[in-house]
Structure 1
Amino acid sequence: MDRGVSPTRWQRNLHPSPFRERLTQIHEGIDTAFASPGSPEAVTLSDGRSLSADQEIVTYVARDLEPYRGFHIMMRAAVPLLRSRPATQLVIAGGDGCSYGPPPDGGGNWRERLLAELGADLPLDRVHFLGSVPHADFINLMRLSRAHLYLTYPFVLSWSMLEAMSCGVVLVASDTRPVTEVVEHGVNGLLVPFHDPAAVASGLVAALDMPMAQRLRLGNAARRTVVERYDLETIGLPGWLEMLHQEFGLPRPR
C-alpha cells in the first residue's frame, strides 16, 4: 500500500504501525450548506396524522434498524422515555435489512423482534416507523427534532450523525469510539452509555428538558464542530486534493 485514507483517528489507529504511518486521516466531508438549520415542514404519517415543530419529537435514524447502530438499545430506552414523557413522539427512520450485522436468530428482522419483545410496554400510537427516507426528508426530520439519538458500537461513524449536528439539533449519542472524537459531553451534545437503556432514556429526557438558551448553545456548537472540522468544500475535498498532489503529483486545482 502506497497510501491509504481513514476518515477517523480511531479507524486509523486500529491498523498496525507500518500501515498506520501510510494512512492519512481525511473525512469524506459533509455538505454543511445542505445539512443546515432551517424551518421544518410537517411530516405526514401513514395514518394521516401530522407531526410538526410545536410537538416534542425525538428522532432515531439508521441505514437499517439493527444492533450495530444500537436499534435494540433505542427500542428498550423508548419504554421509560415515553412513559415519563406522555407528549413525546418517537420518529424512527431506517430500513428493515441488515447493513452490517446478522439478522436475528429464527428469521424476521430486528424491528419485528424488538416489537415482540417489548409488547404492550411500548405505546405504538407514539412510535412511528418511516422506513428508509430520502436525504432531503432526513434533513427535514433533523430540523423538526427536539432531540436526536445516535447509537453505535465502535464502528464506522455515520455521516447521519455529523449531518444531524450540522443541522443544529440537540444530539444524544453513545459514549463510544469514534463518536467521542467528535462529541464532547455538555459542549456540543450529550453522551450516554451504549449498553444502558435507562441511561439513554435519561439522556433524552435531559435534552428535552433543556432551557432554550442551552439548546441553542449545544446546537450551535454542534454545527460549528462540523463546519470547522468536516465541511466538504473547505476541509474534506481540499484534504483529498492535497493528499493526491503530495503523494502522486496530481496538479492542484486552480
Structure 2
Amino acid sequence: MTTSFLPEPPPAAEVRTAAAGHRTTVLIGTDTYPPDVNGAAYFTARLARGLVRRGVAVHVVCASPDGRPHVVERGGVVEHRLRSMSSLVHDSVRLALPLGVRGHLDRLLERLRPDAVHIQNHFLIGRMLASAARAHGVPVVATNHFMPENLFDYVHVPGSLRPYAARMAWRDLGAVLSRVDHVTTPTPAAARLLWEQGFTRPVEPVSCGIDLARFRPVEGGEEQRERIRARLGVPDRTTVVFVGRLDEEKRADELIRAVARTEADVQLVLAGHGAYRRRLEDLAASEGVADRVVFLGFVAHEDLPDVYRAADVFAIAGIAELQSIATLEAMASGLPVVAADAMALPHLVEEGANGFLYPPGSPEALAARLDEVVADEARRRAMGAHSREMASAHRLEDSLARFERIYREAAAEGVSLPVGGFAVSR
C-alpha cells in the first residue's frame, strides 16, 4: 500500500490539439514563490501571470506556505503546493519535503504533458523537476537567480569557510544546469559570472522585465508627491529610497552611514522587512540620524509604485545583484540611481546620465554622489527622465515574449534521452 503525501494533480485544463491551434503549456518549478518575499519569487510570479495573459497555460510547482499540500488557481496560474516545513534559516521561506515528490512530479508531467519545464532554482524542487522532466522527454529551461553570497548569511557560514563553500555551491549549480536544454540569466554580467565559475554551456541573458505602465513617474508635480508622502507617513523632505529585504547582504547599513555624511538635508526611506531591521534602527540612532531614517516595513503590492513616487533618488548598496528588480522599478518611476559599482548594477547606470556608481564599502563616496544628485533639481529631473528611457529597454512584455519563444523552440528541438547508455532524440 502506498501512502500519498501530496494531493493528486488535477486533469490538464486544456486538450492538446493539432499544432496549428496548440496552446503552449509550461510547468514552472521553484523553491520560492509568493508569499515569499525575494526577487526570485517575485520574478517567477510575474513570469507566470504574464504568460497567462499571453494565452499560455501555466502550472507552478512550489512549497506550501503553511505546510499543507494543496492545489489552487490564482490569476489563471495553477499552483501545485507541496507539503513543506520551515527552512529554519529564513522566516519567509519554506522547504518542500522530498518524500513522495518525485512520484507526484511524474504524475503531473503525465497529465499535463507540458511543452517545456522552466526551473527557477537548483535546490530541491527545481532539481527534482528537471530530473523528472528529462525522464519524460520534456525539455527543461533554467533561469539562474543564485549567487552563494546571497545564501551564506542565512546559513551562517563562517567567513573563513566561505571561499570553499562558494566553490562547492558553484560546482553543484553547474552540475544541475549542465543537464538542462536552455539556460538564461537576467543580465550579461550574470551570464559572464557563470562562465567565470567554469560553466561551459551557452547562457542567454533575458531581462527580468519591468511593467512600465505600473511603475511610472509621479503625475501632478510636487503637490502630488507631497500627498503621496503624507499617505505613506513619510515627512515632506528630499528623499532617498531603497526597496528590498533588510538583510545583511543588502548592506542597508551603508545607506544609513551615507545619509549621516551627506551635506544636504536628506532622509532615507527603507521599504521592506528583514532580520537586520533592529540593527539598522540602532545604527541610525548611533549615527545621529534616527529622525532622518524612515522604516516603512513591508509594503503592500498596490502601494509599492507610490513608494518610488515619494522619492527623489534611489540608492542601492548590494554587491550580489544579478539584475535588481527594485532598481528597474525605480528607473521606470523616473528616479536617478546611485548604486554600488558591483556585479550587474553597472548595467543599469550610465555614469552622469541617469545616476552614479560608487565604490562598495565607502559611505563617504555614496554620500558625495547623493549630494551631487540632489544639489541641482533640473539635473536630477533630467537624470530621472533618462532612467525612464533606459528602463524602456526592459519591457516586461518583451521578456515574456522571449521566454514563450524559448519554450516553443525547446519543444520543437526535442531533448536527448539516455537509453541504455545511448542518446536518442525525442
**Smaller-chain TM-score range?**
0.7 to 0.9
Alignment of 1:129-208 (within 5 A): 129-208=295-374
* Structure 1 alignment gaps of length 5 or more: 98-109
| Contact kept in structure 2, 1:142 and 1:167, CA below 8 Å | yes
Aligned with residue 277 of structure 2, among 92, 99, 111: 111
Aligned with residue 201 of structure 2, among 10, 21, 24: 21
Corresponding letter in the other structure for 2:317: L
| Contact kept in structure 1, 2:185 and 2:204, CA below 8 Å | yes
| Contact kept in structure 2, 1:155 and 1:178, CA below 8 Å | yes
Secondary structure at 1:51's aligned position in 2? coil
C-alpha separation in 1, matches of 2:270 and 2:188: 29
Match in the other structure for 1:242: 405
Measured against aligned partners, the alpha-carbon deviations of 1:161-185 in whole angstroms (never above 9, x if no partner) come to 0010011111111111201122111
Measured against aligned partners, the alpha-carbon deviations of 1:29-64 in whole angstroms (never above 9, x if no partner) come to 111111111234423489xx6534xx31121221x2
Between Structure 1 and Structure 2, how many residues are aligned? 227
Secondary structure at 1:96's aligned position in 2? coil
Secondary structure at 2:392's aligned position in 1? helix
Match in the other structure for 2:187: 8
- TM-score relative to the length of structure 1: 0.80
Q: Return closer, same or farther for 1:28/1:85 CA change in 2, 3 Å cut-off.
A: closer
Corresponding letter in the other structure for 2:369: G
Corresponding letter in the other structure for 1:60: F
C-alpha separation in 2, matches of 1:225 and 1:118: 33
1:231 maps to 2:231: no
- TM-score relative to the length of structure 2: 0.49
C-alpha separation in 1, matches of 2:319 and 2:311: 23
| Contact kept in structure 1, 2:184 and 2:204, CA below 8 Å | yes
C-alpha separation in 2, matches of 1:92 and 1:33: 24
Query: Alpha-carbon deviation of 1:20?
Result: 4.8
C-alpha separation in 1, matches of 2:212 and 2:360: 27
| Contact kept in structure 2, 1:175 and 1:194, CA below 8 Å | yes
| Contact kept in structure 1, 2:324 and 2:345, CA below 8 Å | no
Corresponding letter in the other structure for 1:57: T
Secondary structure at 1:169's aligned position in 2? coil
* Structure 2 alignment gaps of length 5 or more: 1-179, 220-224, 414-426
| Contact kept in structure 2, 1:7 and 1:25, CA below 8 Å | yes
Flag as ranges the 4+ runs of structure 1 deviating above 6 A: none
Query: Alpha-carbon deviation of 1:95?
Result: 0.3
C-alpha separation in 1, matches of 2:277 and 2:271: 11
Identify the structure with bigger relative contact order (alpha carbons < 8 Å, sequence gap 6+). Answer: 1
Corresponding letter in the other structure for 2:383: L
Q: Return closer, same or farther for 1:114/1:28 CA change in 2, 3 Å cut-off.
A: closer
Match in the other structure for 2:215: 35
